[in-house]
């Protein structure tokens, strides 16, 4: 094994993603090491979401590789990558309770009911929503809904969390508070993350920041 392939955690190596003739992501290389939180900044249309989707396995690569602990993920489908996803609109399941939303991925993982319930309650406590399990999703504020979305994304213990402007829909004061909460939660879970944002408060919560514009790191 070469030094290059032994890279622990995420390695994006010279990745290009095309939509027709346009390279939305153009020859991008980056790493996210164990426990590291890396912010991805840059103007709208710069390719941030496309890069995140490529890492998740939701966009085919025109060239380059995405690997984890040195293993090329080209043949590994989205659901087998063990990466968590969180978006601007948490897209909670409206017909499920808060607790059932958080437990959703655990059911997919085959855990029994009582284990799912206790783990969901633990995650709700971690994100500051102890006692919310039986609440109806429709009764949550925007900030509470994003806390639930974070708990849901982390409950299956993903090896990497991919966040796409997770707090952009919230007002500025709440964004600062939530950015700190997300950072603290990632640290508690020792989950590394690639965090797309154009918000300085969110970027400040990261260990380091990269900037993507016109598909290239600048």
List the 10-19 sheet strands across, edge first: 22-32, 10-19, 63-68, 71-72
Work out which of 10, 37, 47, 217 binds ligand ADP, going by CB under 6 A. Answer: 47
| Interactions with ligand ADP, residue window 138-167 (CB under 6 A) | none
| Interactions with Mg ion, residue window 147-166 (CB under 5 A) | none
Work out which of 26, 49, 119, 192 binds ligand ADP, going by CB under 6 A. Answer: 49
Q: Give whichever of 13 and 164 is closer to Mg ion, judged by the CB atom.
A: 164
CA distances from 52 to 48, 60, 79, 111, 171 (A): 6, 12, 15, 28, 24
Q: From the centroid of its chain, how far is CA 148?
A: 14
**Least separation in angstroms between CB 121 and Mg ion:** 33
- Of 17, 42, 43, the C-alpha closest to 211 is 42
| 88 part of the interface to Mg ion, by CB under 5 A | no
By Cβ distance, which residue is nearest to Mg ion?
49
**Least separation in angstroms between CB 106 and ligand ADP:** 30
C-alpha–C-alpha distance, residues 81 and 179, integer Å: 25
Torsion of CA 33, 34, 37, 42, to 10 degrees: 20
Report whether 3 contacts 158 (CB < 8 A). Answer: no
Q: Give whichever of 48 and 116 is closer to Mg ion, judged by the CB atom.
A: 48
**Least separation in angstroms between CB 196 and Mg ion:** 6
| Interactions with ligand ADP, residue window 8-27 (CB under 6 A) | 19, 24
| Interactions with ligand ADP, residue window 110-129 (CB under 6 A) | none
**Helix, strand, or coil here: 186?**
helix
- Region near ligand ADP per CB under 6 A, out of 38-46, 72-80, 113-121, 134-142: 38-46
Residue 103 half-sphere exposure toward CB, CA atoms < 13 A: 22
Q: Count of residues binding Mg ion (CB under 5 A)?
A: 2
Tokens coding 171? 């007002």
| 45 part of the interface to ligand ADP, by CB under 6 A | yes
**Least separation in angstroms between CB 77 and ligand ADP:** 19
Work out which of 1, 2, 44, 110 binds ligand ADP, going by CB under 6 A. Answer: 44
CA distances from 14 to 7, 134, 146, 159 (A): 15, 46, 33, 22
| Interactions with Mg ion, residue window 37-56 (CB under 5 A) | 48-49
Q: Could you list the residues that contact ligand ADP (CB under 6 A)?
A: 19, 24, 42, 44-50
């Amino acid at each position: 094994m070469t030094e290059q392939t032994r890279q622990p955690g995420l390695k994006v190596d010279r990745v290009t993603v095309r939509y027709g003739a346009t390279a939305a992501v153009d020859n991008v290389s980056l790493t996210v090491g164990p426990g590291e939180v890396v912010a991805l900044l840059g103007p709208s249309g710069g390719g941030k979401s496309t890069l995140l989707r490529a890492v998740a396995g939701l966009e085919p690569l025109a060239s380059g590789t995405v690997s984890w602990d040195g293993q090329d993920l080209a043949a590994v489908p989205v659901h087998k990558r063990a990466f968590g996803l969180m978006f601007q609109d948490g897209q909670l399941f409206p017909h499920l309770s808060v607790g059932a939303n958080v437990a959703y991925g655990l059911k997919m993982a085959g855990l029994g009911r009582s284990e799912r319930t206790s783990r969901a309650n633990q995650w709700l406590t971690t994100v500051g929503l102890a006692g919310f399990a039986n609440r109806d999703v429709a009764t949550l504020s925007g900030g509470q809904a994003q806390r639930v979305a974070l708990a849901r994304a982390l409950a299956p213990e993903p090896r990497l969390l991919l966040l796409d402007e997770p707090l952009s829909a919230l007002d500025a004061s709440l964004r600062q508070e939530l950015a700190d909460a997300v950072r603290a939660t990632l640290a508690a879970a020792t989950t590394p993350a690639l965090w797309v944002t154009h918000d300085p408060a969110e970027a400040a919560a990261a260990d380091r920041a990269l900037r993507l514009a016109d598909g290239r790191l600048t």
